[in-house]
Structure 1
Amino acid sequence: MRILFAGAGNFGHVYPLLPLAKAARAAGHEVFFATGEQLHPAVTAAGLEAVPAGRSVPEGFMEAARSGGLLAPGDADLKPQDVPPEVLADLHVQVFGSVLPRWVTEDLTAALGRLRPDLVVYEALNPGAAFAAHLAGVPAVAHGVGPMTVGPDDARVMEQLLVTAGDLGVDVPGGQLLALARAFVDICPPSLQDPHFLAAPLHRIEQRPVPYAEPGGELPERIRAAEGRFVYVTLGTAFASAEVLRTVVEGLLPLDVPVLVAAGPVVPVAALGEQPERVVAVPWVAQPEALRHAALVVQHGGAGTTLAALAAGLPQLVLPQGADGPANAAAVHAAGAGEYVLAPDLSPQAVGEAARRLMADESYRTGARKVAAEIAGMPDPAATAAKLPDLAA
């Protein structure tokens, strides 16, 4: 069988789909993975054939700004700090409700005509892939990346998506986008999933979240020597800032434990300034390896990192930086597996006090291990891959 996977052009939207894509290939299927070209190196590193589909979120904002008259055709940059919040909110709706889905639909429509897959497995936050599959008459399966929570701006984005679907000639049953899919692969443990979503009339397939990282990448020697005593810090690949990372490190220094900082692709390590020897800052870390040996995770609230830390049974301090971060932070706290500090309250003192509690109070580790046991009991990607032929029939 020939299967096309499709994820939005961001690490946090592609990595969660790669375990199932690799399991499908291991089961003997011919597998392609469609995403923005900036993610193609990650796809090919996983041994999969990459297909161009869509562009990056920053490009989407540039397009929306130009069409809205905020940028002249020749302008090459949009500084969010120069845009009023209400205008930025409107741009967000246009980017995720229209610009990105239309790009993905156009690119995937061409790819589907060329590749003629038997099934499309698309990331649930990449609705353009669902539109393209529907227009091509190809069965589709949605794949989640975390809790299916609804944020304050999601209703407006949904309204715009339905307008976009209508413009493209896609009939959305009952106005529910997931009705375009035959099933939903849910990698979020039920205890963290939104109860309203669990109650929805949907063919839901539970699958264990499997942390993915590109091959290679040993931990730095100083961190390896601190087995089980270091704090792992990451703000992900989209929302990281040097200022926030410096605040976090400053707050952790009084704990007198080693700190491993994954600066990510947005923040140069040099921007963190000179640090004491026990702080090791690197551009990239093989996250599963870091989680295997850390004592505490300080992170941004991205679904992938949140679920990976829970699967490792680690307490975490969540510092939401946007998107689904606040909802994931609340879910971690409700599970007794961590604490969070919202952006307006972020300070070195707040980080230090919360981290000290998390490392001293065993109840947080107990809460995290409870969720880890739940995750370990979920079916693995190979079990889902075995169901894909029936879903394509």
Structure 2
Amino acid sequence: MKVLLCPLNDPGYLYPALAVGAELRRRAHTVHVLAGPRAAPAATAAGLEAVAVVDTTALSVSHWTARGPEQYTEVARAVRRTRPDVLVTSVLCHGALVAAEAAGLPVVVLGLTAHLWPYRSGIGAADARDRTWRLTETLKHYGAVREAAGLAPRHDRFPDTPLLGTAFLLRGHPVLEPPGAELPPAVEHVGPCWWEPQPPAAEPLPDSKPLAYVHLGRTFGGASLWPRLNAAFTSGTHRAVVELGRSGDPEAAADADLIVGRRPWMGPLVDRADLVLTNATSAPVLAALLRGKPLLVAPNGSEQQVLAAGCLRAGVARGLPGPGASAADLRAAVEETARDPELRARAQEIAGLLADGKSETRAADAVESASH
């Protein structure tokens, strides 16, 4: 079987696809990865062959709403070159969905950790945070790509059908969904599909205080975490290692116990941390749960609200006090999250559930099934 991986090239989307690709390669399938210059070294490190992207913005999550037609062109070009039997792509990668349809190929979509669009069953409206709006907005951009590609209109029974592909694989666990939530038939929980490059050496860190790992997401017009980080980690019990991710320039106070940077991995640092503080995006949440670490969540927009709610409901997280909270309350939230035995026990329980799921195996099985 020939497989073309065409995920978004940002690490949070690229790395899970590489995990699945490496498992498919281990099964003796031919696997290519559509990759720009920044993503190609990771593909090589995973033992996979990269196919170069001409337009480097086409597979960037920062441009997912605007570069769909260019993404379609890139994927269609790679399909002609590699002649795959199946595509594997990311959520929000509409150009790949349309290219697969145009070529008559099955397509497997790697989703995020929790399901963002409406469930098929009616659950409490309190959990439905903008789910209908999210679906409507996503379909608008998807429809624009289809129109640009000249494909005939679709007539699906459910509006989310075209976004789910042949199979839609969530990288979390049912425990993170609301009780009674009924997912569409094409959607399956497979687990983290975890991969990241190995750091060249252990990072030297001061050992005078225990560590917290902090991963910043986009603010989406919400509150920046920096004022609260500065307060929580000044004269507190912990020092924080802060991953900037796709956030803006750092705003660390000179006297705050913060070590700030950008790294293409997080696992070794999470291993050394007592807790993970995050806006609640998939990668840091999964890194914490895989290692049985409790979470302190401060969501803004997009998936953050949905995933943070899932973590709180599952008993693996506390909420970080909001803007305007006192420094004492913020420091207490860090210390209490790190020391809470029930929170840690529940996180360790879910770590076991995720490990038992054998995510790369299940995902590779789904890709093989889709190609038949």
Whether the aligned pair in 2 keeps the contact of 1:315 and 1:364 (CA below 8 Å) is yes
The amino acid of 1:14's aligned partner reads L
The amino acid of 1:7's aligned partner reads P
3-state SS of 1:313 partner: coil
The amino acid of 1:230's aligned partner reads L
Counterpart in the other structure of 1:215? 198
Match of 2:104 among 127, 137, 155: 137
Match of 1:289 among 250, 268, 276: 268
Q: TM-score, normalised by structure 1?
A: 0.78
Say if 1:178 and 1:365 are closer, same or farther in 2 by CA, change over 3 A: farther
Counterpart in the other structure of 2:16? 16
Distance, in Å, in 2 between the alignment partners of 1:119 and 1:226 is 51
2:90 is equivalent to residue 123 of structure 1: yes
Counterpart in the other structure of 2:75? 108
3-state SS of 2:174 partner: coil
Deviations 1:116-144 (A, max 9, x none): 10111111321221111010011212222
Distance, in Å, in 1 between the alignment partners of 2:224 and 2:185 is 44
Match of 1:377 among 356, 362, 370: 356
2:311 is equivalent to residue 332 of structure 1: yes
2:234 is equivalent to residue 250 of structure 1: no
Say if 1:346 and 1:2 are closer, same or farther in 2 by CA, change over 3 A: farther
2:161 is equivalent to residue 177 of structure 1: yes
The amino acid of 1:126's aligned partner reads C
For structure 1, list consecutive stretches of 5 or more residues without a partner in the other structure.
61-94
Distance, in Å, in 2 between the alignment partners of 1:173 and 1:149 is 19
Identity %: 23
> Once the 2 structures are TM-superposed, how far is the Cα of residue 387 of structure 1 from its aligned partner?
4.9
Counterpart in the other structure of 1:156? 136
3-state SS of 1:120 partner: strand
Say if 1:148 and 1:383 are closer, same or farther in 2 by CA, change over 3 A: closer
> Once the 2 structures are TM-superposed, how far is the Cα of residue 325 of structure 1 from its aligned partner?
0.9
Counterpart in the other structure of 2:240? 259
Distance, in Å, in 2 between the alignment partners of 1:265 and 1:154 is 21
> Once the 2 structures are TM-superposed, how far is the Cα of residue 324 of structure 1 from its aligned partner?
0.9
Whether the aligned pair in 2 keeps the contact of 1:8 and 1:36 (CA below 8 Å) is no
Counterpart in the other structure of 2:45? 45
Whether the aligned pair in 1 keeps the contact of 2:20 and 2:193 (CA below 8 Å) is no
Counterpart in the other structure of 1:200? 184
2:280 is equivalent to residue 313 of structure 1: no
2:361 is equivalent to residue 357 of structure 1: no
The amino acid of 1:263's aligned partner reads L
Deviations 1:300-319 (A, max 9, x none): 21112112211211111112
2:367 is equivalent to residue 388 of structure 1: yes
Distance, in Å, in 2 between the alignment partners of 1:339 and 1:372 is 17
Deviations 1:318-372 (A, max 9, x none): 1224321111111111111111237655664553232122123212112212221
Whether the aligned pair in 1 keeps the contact of 2:276 and 2:284 (CA below 8 Å) is no
Say if 1:164 and 1:280 are closer, same or farther in 2 by CA, change over 3 A: closer
Distance, in Å, in 1 between the alignment partners of 2:111 and 2:278 is 20
Deviations 1:196-233 (A, max 9, x none): 7644222x44423143322214443335x479x32111
Distance, in Å, in 2 between the alignment partners of 1:378 and 1:201 is 19
Q: Which moved more, 1:241-250 or 1:282-291?
A: 241-250
Whether the aligned pair in 2 keeps the contact of 1:27 and 1:386 (CA below 8 Å) is no
Say if 1:222 and 1:124 are closer, same or farther in 2 by CA, change over 3 A: closer
Alpha-carbon RMSD: 3.1
The amino acid of 1:244's aligned partner reads L
3-state SS of 1:295 partner: strand
Deviations 1:17-48 (A, max 9, x none): 22111111122111112255543343333333
Whether the aligned pair in 2 keeps the contact of 1:301 and 1:319 (CA below 8 Å) is yes
Distance, in Å, in 1 between the alignment partners of 2:325 and 2:79 is 46
> Once the 2 structures are TM-superposed, how far is the Cα of residue 267 of structure 1 from its aligned partner?
4.8
Distance, in Å, in 1 between the alignment partners of 2:344 and 2:270 is 13
Counterpart in the other structure of 2:252? 272
Q: Which moved more, 1:211-220 or 1:291-300?
A: 211-220
2:280 is equivalent to residue 301 of structure 1: yes
3-state SS of 2:286 partner: helix
Which one has the bigger helix percentage?
1
Distance, in Å, in 2 between the alignment partners of 1:383 and 1:359 is 32
3-state SS of 2:185 partner: coil
Whether the aligned pair in 2 keeps the contact of 1:300 and 1:319 (CA below 8 Å) is yes
The amino acid of 1:20's aligned partner reads V
The amino acid of 1:318's aligned partner reads V
3-state SS of 2:34 partner: strand
Counterpart in the other structure of 2:124? none
Say if 1:267 and 1:165 are closer, same or farther in 2 by CA, change over 3 A: closer
The amino acid of 1:213's aligned partner reads E
Distance, in Å, in 1 between the alignment partners of 2:198 and 2:307 is 27
Say if 1:210 and 1:234 are closer, same or farther in 2 by CA, change over 3 A: same
The amino acid of 1:137's aligned partner reads G
Whether the aligned pair in 1 keeps the contact of 2:240 and 2:258 (CA below 8 Å) is yes
Say if 1:280 and 1:163 are closer, same or farther in 2 by CA, change over 3 A: closer
